[in-house]
């Protein structure tokens, strides 16, 4: 096994990749090393920044070293004794449409360099290309992948099978399926850089998810050219285990100062909003008046600190089960990220199956996006698939969920249960609560995580209520009550709730009664509820 998963949250995974030169904790950022113009040495990256692995370009090394490349250890060449990943020159192939290296040479060069992780010489699809061109890049990459597996020795390196197809998701799927059937250790998604540069995070979502869902689950997924740290939580939440980025150096070259949620011009800063060693030892004014070359080096160091700090936040978020919260906070930094996070509702069932069912902290439900959190979806799935009502229960009383949790400890709920003590003890009456977040919460389950372990704002909106109504309707139809009594909260819920519940009761052969009130927990309303129950008991 070259990959071990320790913790999971959303589709993100904290784990380890085992390579010939040591292990790599995931999620991992591999800084891009360009030896001729490298602002931070690989040795400094490891000793001062804690970088575990780096990536460099085998094609560039071949151009610089010539025949020596076949007998030069890449670790001594970079002065880096940790894992080194080498790209094969596919990026240059994308830019220049041709490179002076064959797929066979790419294998020989990387095995000669003793790369810990090697990449076949694939053909990147790129962006804004015709479907015919995209299809050719996929088929040619598959052909080269088969060739690489056939001729490589696989003694000193983990081989990476790239997935191409670009914006053509059916081609991405085909590429992932075919490459996934081959004996690769790692997979990688190519061609995301133009997508990220244009902030097309919804497209990036589809590309990553399509690739991820069509490769073996026990293999890591690498993302080429991940770019800005604002996107790191998104790509990890979608299942990318490693990714490379040259953004720390490229942005520094353009006088750009990175933060986890955006980019600033270094020459316009009044303050340095960071506590990294660079920002702690310089003022904004000192940074502005520093010479151009020196400022670039300082910015590269700051930018790398920001990128690595975000990786540490992501790792801790996975361990704490709070990756969704980090993702939500980053989605506020750019409208395109806000749009991308809404797409998680499309894969909520898969998120649920990959996310722990209990966590050390409660949930934050802040707006309609959060009702698609996997913990919420897990409750809804289990309510539908696993829950069985009490056997003797003939009447369901649905009350609106009170603000105090657990619901049964709400003082008025306590008084209601005391007033209905005989019916509840007999088992004929079953008390449930309806919630805009969880749909239905049977009273005996209201302390189960996360039904009481959450904080929320007063959610409204048609989308929120429509989802909850669907859950309520399903619950009524599938459980064998004879009578349903709904206390309708007229201030917070529209009339569609009562209509939907009445129709569900009618379809499943149940009688239905409702009590509508602006204050559903008032003594007057509770008296009416008791009256409805008494009428039901007296009726034949």
Give tens-digit pLDDT for 85-141. 999 877 776 665 677 789 999 999 999 999 999 999 999 998 889 999 999 999 999
Q: CB–CB of 229/12 below 8 Å? A: no
Terminal-residue alpha carbon distance, the chain? 68
Beta partners for 57? 87
Instruction: Give Rg (Cα) of the chain.
Output: 29
What percent of the chain has pLDDT above 70? 98
Among 134, 66, 124, CA closest to 90: 124
Quick check: is 100 catalytic?
no
Among 326, 338, 316, CA closest to 205: 338
Mean pLDDT computed over every residue of the chain:
92
Q: CB–CB of 375/347 below 8 Å? A: no
What pLDDT score does 278 carry? Answer: 96
What pLDDT score does 128 carry? Answer: 86
pLDDT band at 202, cuts 50/70/90? very high
Q: Could you say which of 9, 73, 81, 87 is catalytic?
A: 87
What pLDDT score does 35 carry? Answer: 82
Q: What is the DSSP letter of 361?
A: S
Residues 6+ apart with CB under 8 A from 150: none
In terms of pLDDT, which residue wins out, 193 or 32? 32
Average pLDDT for residues 9-28, to the nearest whole number? 96
Q: What CA–CA distance (Å, rounded) separates 531 from 533?
A: 5
pLDDT band at 261, cuts 50/70/90? confident
Average pLDDT for residues 390-401, to the nearest whole number? 94
- What pTM, to 2 d.p., does this model score? 0.92
For residue 248, CA distances in Å to 200, 251, 504 come to 21, 6, 57
What percent of the chain has pLDDT above 90? 78
In terms of pLDDT, which residue wins out, 532 or 84? 84
Helix (H, G, I), strand (E, B) or coil at 120: coil
Average pLDDT for residues 186-204, to the nearest whole number? 89
**Roughly what angle, to the nearest 10 degrees, separates helices 103-113 and 131-151?**
50
pLDDT band at 237, cuts 50/70/90? very high
Q: What is the DSSP letter of 402?
A: P
Beta partners for 398? 432, 486
What pLDDT score does 51 carry? Answer: 97
Token pair belonging to 81:
């004794």
What pLDDT score does 388 carry? Answer: 94
Cα 136 off chain centre by: 31
For 452-468, the pLDDT digits (tens) are: 999 888 777 888 999 99
Q: CB–CB of 517/429 below 8 Å? A: no
Residue pointed to by tokens 């309510």: 383
Average pLDDT for residues 167-181, to the nearest whole number? 97
Q: In what order do the strands lie in the sheet with 429-435?
A: 439-442, 429-435, 395-400, 483-489, 511-517
Domains of the chain: 3-347 (3.20.20.105), 363-538 (3.40.50.10630)
What pLDDT score does 395 carry? Answer: 94
pLDDT band at 539, cuts 50/70/90? low
DSSP 32-72: EE-GGG-SS-HHHHHHHH----EEEEHHHHHHHHGGGGGS-
Average pLDDT for residues 524-536, to the nearest whole number? 85
Token pair belonging to 43:
């040795």
Average pLDDT for residues 458-487, to the nearest whole number? 92
Among 255, 253, 205, 251, CA closest to 228: 251
Query: What burial letters (b/e) apply to 229-240, b meaning 16+ CB within 10 Å?
Result: bbbbbbbbbbbb
Average pLDDT for residues 497-513, to the nearest whole number? 95
């Amino acid at each position: 096994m070259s990959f071990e998963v320790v913790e999971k949250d959303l589709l993100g995974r904290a784990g380890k990749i085992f390579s010939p030169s040591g292990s790599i904790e995931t999620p991992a950022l591999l800084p891009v090393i360009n030896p001729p113009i490298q602002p931070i040495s690989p040795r400094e990256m490891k000793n001062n920044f804690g970088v575990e692995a780096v990536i460099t370009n085998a094609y560039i090394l071949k151009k610089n070293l010539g025949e020596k490349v076949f007998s030069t250890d890449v670790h001594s060449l970079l002065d880096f004794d940790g894992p080194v990943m080498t790209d094969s020159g596919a990026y240059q192939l994308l830019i220049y449409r041709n490179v002076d290296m064959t797929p066979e040479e790419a294998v020989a060069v990387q095995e000669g360099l003793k790369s810990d992780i090697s990449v076949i010489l694939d053909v990147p699809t790129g962006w804004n290309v015709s479907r015919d061109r995209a299809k050719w890049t996929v088929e040619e990459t598959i052909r080269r992948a088969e060739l690489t597996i056939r001729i490589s020795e696989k003694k000193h390196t983990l081989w990476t099978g790239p997935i191409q197809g670009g914006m053509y998701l059916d081609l991405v799927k085909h590429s992932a399926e075919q490459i996934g059937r081959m004996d690769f250790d790692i997979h990688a998604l190519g061609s995301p850089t133009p997508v990220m540069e244009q902030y097309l995070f919804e497209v990036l979502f589809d590309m990553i998810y399509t690739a991820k869902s069509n490769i073996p689950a026990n293999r890591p997924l690498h993302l080429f050219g991940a770019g800005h740290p604002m996107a790191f939580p998104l790509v990890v939440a979608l299942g990318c285990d490693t990714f490379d980025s040259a953004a720390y150096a490229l942005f520094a070259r353009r006088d750009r100062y990175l933060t986890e949620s955006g980019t600033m011009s270094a020459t316009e800063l009044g303050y340095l909003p960071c506590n990294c060693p660079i920002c702690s030892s310089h003022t904004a004014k000192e940074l502005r008046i520093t010479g151009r070359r020196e400022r670039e080096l300082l910015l590269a160091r700051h930018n790398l600190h920001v990128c690595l700090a975000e990786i540490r936040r992501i790792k801790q978020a996975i361990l704490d089960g709070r990756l969704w919260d980090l993702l939500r906070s980053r989605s506020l930094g750019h409208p395109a990220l806000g749009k991308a996070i809404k797409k998680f509702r499309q894969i909520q069932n898969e998120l649920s199956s990959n996310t722990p069912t209990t966590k050390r902290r409660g949930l934050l439900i802040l707006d309609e996006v959060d009702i698609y959190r996997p913990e919420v979806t897990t409750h809804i799935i289990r309510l539908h698939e696993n829950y069985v009502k009490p056997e003797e229960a003939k009447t369901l009383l649905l009350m609106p969920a009170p603000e105090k949790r657990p619901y049964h400890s709400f003082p008025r709920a306590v008084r209601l249960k005391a007033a209905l003590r005989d019916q509840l003890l007999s088992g004929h009456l079953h008390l449930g609560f309806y919630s805009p977040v969880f749909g239905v919460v049977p009273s005996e389950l209201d302390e189960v995580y996360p039904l009481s372990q959450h904080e929320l704002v007063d959610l409204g909106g048609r989308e929120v209520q429509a989802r909850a109504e669907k859950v309520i309707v399903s619950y009524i139809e599938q459980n064998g009550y004879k009578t349903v009594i709904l206390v309708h909260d007229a201030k917070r819920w529209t009339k569609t709730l009562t209509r939907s519940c009445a129709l569900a009761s009618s379809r499943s052969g149940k009688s239905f009664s409702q009590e509508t009130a602006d204050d559903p927990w008032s003594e007057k309303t509770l008296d009416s509820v008791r009256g409805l129950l008494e009428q039901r008991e007296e009726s034949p």
